[in-house]
Structure 1
Amino acid sequence: MSEELKAELLDVALEAARRAGELLRDGRPADLAVAATKSSPIDVVTEMDIAAEKLIAGVLAERRPADGLLGEEGADIAGTSGVRWIVDPLDGTVNYLYGLPGWGVSIAAEYRGETVVGVVEAPMRGETYRAVLGGGALMGTTRLECRPAAPLEQALIATGFGYLQTRRAHQAEVVARVIPLVRDIRRGGSAALDLCDVAAGRLDGYYERGLNPWDLAAGELIAREAGALTGGRSGEPASGELTVAATPAVYASLLPLLEEAGAWHD
């Protein structure tokens, strides 16, 4: 892939994420309510999720009409260019519904199956994270680097929980195994922002089971380009089974702990 094409994809992603972030921040109705549910009654969609994905799809169709698109709220277009966009128009919907600031817009571009560009817009933080494969990661104009090496017992680790009761119950058991062995646990409510916080040195590590491609595509690239290690179970790529991102030292200790605790299954 040429550097010119990478730069074009980054520019498109930045525009789409900025415009969707402005819509979500400035257009949130005071009486915002749940528009639909998905996997369970607490896995919610609001009218703003749908509006943001429509806006992003429009930007992509205008600027890159031959590309594919996979969006959380239903967009699924094959495309003919070899480029496919992976879009979460509102990562952290429950936070957004409750008026909490921990939400963002996540947009990644794949080329022939490999993620080459990632952008996460965090309007309530006033921050934009971005990465290009092989080009490092930035927050605004600041180059991102994950935290220096630290032992697991001094590591601040983030995680998340699924929406199905059986999965949540087991995830709570995993946390009970992990928390005595680390500095502390955080639960922010947005996988994309947790991954960016690993990149920015605000967390030593993050893990979660049950993520979808749109939850992790952009944030995982940003974390990797900031020097973090990312992956799944037993050296596999990050996936819905398990996603782990951490500083190299913490990753080496955290991954076997999660394996032993059964973080990869319900």
Structure 2
Amino acid sequence: MTPAGELRELATEIAREAGELACARRMEGVRLAATKSTLADIVTEADREVEDLIRGRLRAARPHDGFLGEESGAEPGESGITWVVDPIDGTVNYAYGLPAYNVSIAAVRGEPDPESWEALAAVVNAPALGEIFTAARDEGAWAGGLRLAVTDETPAGALLGTGFGYDPATHDGDLATVRRVMPMARDLRRMGAAALDLAYVAAGRLDGFFERGLRPWDHAAGALLIEEAGGVVSRVDVESPRPMLIAGGRDVHARLRDILASKS
């Protein structure tokens, strides 16, 4: 097995265990631990417990690797590999009992910065939906034994996914972005879990995706899934506090980028 494949297998094993823990805690009832940027941006006790589990398993298996997690922050490593983790992506869905949440784990080489790292392995586990999406660099993206491929053609218009920030001050801008994109869209989906949206682009269930303000752990795994499924992921306006992430098959990505990278 290749080194990237070994990282994928480790991430898959840990993501399965983490997903089981998240589901068990959801069945017991969600306890809110804190809010983050706004009252709508919540952290549950399960987020922290699941991240602790992932971090502990990775430290035991690969003690010299770095770690970048949503809840516990960054820890430098010595190996050149960093694990980028969102323990429960889609926490609001999770808190409300909606099944569109996931455990997202990626292994990247280089600095823990999306502009410079090379993603090596990725897992997005949606335990309430019973699906695990995996990828290793140069080995394709997979789900349940099926190799994933992005959409090539969208003759009826593109089915697009997006998300909005939690800060009400950003909502007008996000809605204006949607209005700019809708002429190329067949329709729009907004599930509230970016890693799962990106996995769905890789699987051809969405034709493209765009969102401002995603953090590294929101897209590290999903971006590799799309690239290994034949798609393209890019970030524009990266110097702003809320960069725009654009993803899709080559044609959809190019059309979205033309619209969203322009200043008009």
> Could you say which residue in structure 2 is the equivalent of 1:44?
42
What secondary structure sits across from 2:261 in the alignment? helix
Q: Matches of 1:193 and 1:27 in 2, distance apart?
A: 20
> Could you say which residue in structure 1 is the equivalent of 2:70?
72
> Could you say which residue in structure 1 is the equivalent of 2:182?
179
Q: Matches of 2:123 and 2:229 in 1, distance apart?
A: 13
Instruction: Confirm or deny: 8 A CA contact 1:174 1:261 kept in the other structure.
Output: no
> Aligned partner of 1:225: which letter?
E
Identity of aligned residues (%): 46
- Mapped pair 1:127 → 2:125: no
**Cα RMSD over matched residues?**
1.9
> Could you say which residue in structure 2 is the equivalent of 1:102?
100
- Normalising by structure 1, we get a TM-score of 0.91
Q: How does 1:175-214 map to 2 (within 5 A)?
A: 175-214=178-217
Query: How far 1:257 moved relative to its partner?
Result: 1.2
Stretch moving more, 71-80 or 173-182: 173-182
Instruction: Confirm or deny: 8 A CA contact 1:160 1:191 kept in the other structure.
Output: yes
CA-to-aligned-CA distance 1:48-84 (integer Å, 9 cap, x gap): 0001000001100110111100000023210111110
Query: How far 1:240 moved relative to its partner?
Result: 4.9
Query: How far 1:29 moved relative to its partner?
Result: 4.7
> Could you say which residue in structure 2 is the equivalent of 1:160?
163
Instruction: Confirm or deny: 8 A CA contact 2:194 2:219 kept in the other structure.
Output: yes
> Could you say which residue in structure 1 is the equivalent of 2:140?
136
Q: Matches of 2:178 and 2:80 in 1, distance apart?
A: 40
Q: Structure 2 unaligned segments of length 5 or more: list them.
A: 111-116
Query: How far 1:27 moved relative to its partner?
Result: 2.4
Query: How far 1:261 moved relative to its partner?
Result: 6.6
- Mapped pair 1:246 → 2:252: no
- Mapped pair 1:222 → 2:225: yes
Instruction: Confirm or deny: 8 A CA contact 1:106 1:192 kept in the other structure.
Output: yes
Of the three residues 34, 59, 64, the one matched with 1:61 is 59
CA-to-aligned-CA distance 1:154-203 (integer Å, 9 cap, x gap): 11010000111111221011112222431111101110000000000101
> Aligned partner of 1:218: which letter?
A
Q: Matches of 1:261 and 1:101 in 2, distance apart?
A: 37
What secondary structure sits across from 1:176 in the alignment? helix
> Aligned partner of 1:139: which letter?
A
CA-to-aligned-CA distance 1:220-252 (integer Å, 9 cap, x gap): 000111011110228x8xx95011111111112
Q: Matches of 1:232 and 1:165 in 2, distance apart?
A: 23
Distance 1:98 1:156, change over 3 A: same
Count of aligned pairs between the two proteins: 257
Distance 1:114 1:126, change over 3 A: same
What secondary structure sits across from 1:183 in the alignment? strand
Stretch moving more, 172-181 or 51-60: 172-181
- Normalising by structure 2, we get a TM-score of 0.92
Stretch moving more, 166-175 or 49-58: 166-175
Q: Matches of 1:87 and 1:155 in 2, distance apart?
A: 30
Q: Structure 1 unaligned segments of length 5 or more: list them.
A: none
What secondary structure sits across from 2:119 in the alignment? strand
> Could you say which residue in structure 2 is the equivalent of 1:18?
16
Query: How far 1:15 moved relative to its partner?
Result: 1.3
> Aligned partner of 1:136: which letter?
G
